[in-house]
Chain A
Amino acid sequence: QTVVTQEPSLTVSPGGTVTLTCASSTGAVTSGYYPNWFQQKPGQAPRALIYSTNNKHSWTPARFSGSLLGDKAALTLSGVQPEDEAEYYCLLYYGDAWVFGGGTKLTVL
């Protein structure tokens, strides 16, 4: 069974920079896994941030960026705002199925 692993939790100071990563149990994450990133706040549906590694939606704040970092997919927040405190999920493609990571709880403190 394929497992996608994210940091369970991270803490960042307002105005700081933080990178969340997304690893696959099958090996290195490449662009062919088409990494997607989502933000979810309590009581809300997830909101899409990034698709196909580094493409932003029209509503994605400029401080969010996606990339490949080593053998993982990465989501970097630069100039973190208090409203960025949320759970973040990555989603990877495995040919005929998608798998979510376990999520990263980001605390802005």
Chain B
Amino acid sequence: QVQLQESGPGLVKPSGTLSLTCAVSGGSISGRYWWSWIRQPPGKGLEWIGEVSHSGITNYNPSLKSRLTISLDKSKNQLSLTLSSVTAADTAMYYCARNSPNYCQGDYWGQGTLVTVSS
């Protein structure tokens, strides 16, 4: 059973950098999968942030692209997200998810980690 677990600072200062990791267990991150980050501001809907393939190819939300980096660390079996120049609008629950072949999105999700941007 694949399990994903997000982790990172719960509080980030405005203009700072948000860094999160997602540890994957029960399966290899190097398989035929893509891995996504999704976020959800409190009381609002889901927003697709971006994704990375097992070979390191990335696709990003155009509205976040200039501030965003998503990568894989195969040695640690985890993926990471870095979002720079954050503002209060980046306050959200951040989820990582696995995507399977045939455009199957988010068949496994982490429980999410809440990040608040505040001074």
Residues 28-53 (chain A) with a chain B CB within 8 angstroms: 34, 36, 38, 40, 45-48, 51-52
Task: Report the separation of the CA atoms of residues A52 and B48 in the bound assembly, to the nearest whole angstrom.
Answer: 17
| Chain A residues, CB < 8 A from B47 | 100
A36, A55, A57: most-surrounded residue (chain B CB, <10 A): A36
Residues 35-55 (chain B) with a chain A CB within 8 angstroms: 36, 38, 45-48, 51
| Chain B residues, CB < 8 A from A98 | 36, 48, 51, 105
Interface residues on A, range: 20 to 34
- Chain B residues with a Cβ closer than 8 Å to the other chain, count: 24
Whether B102 pairs with A45 at a CB distance below 8 angstroms is no
In the complex, which of the residues B63, B104, B109 contacts A1, with contact meaning CB atoms closer than 8 Å? B63
Whether B59 pairs with A97 at a CB distance below 8 angstroms is yes
22 A-B residue pairs with Cβ-Cβ distance under 8 Å, sorted by A, are A1-B62, A1-B63, A36-B104, A38-B106, A45-B109, A46-B109, A47-B109, A51-B104, A51-B105, A52-B102, A52-B103, A55-B104, A87-B45, A91-B46, A97-B48, A97-B59, A98-B36, A98-B48, A99-B48, A100-B47, A102-B45, A103-B46
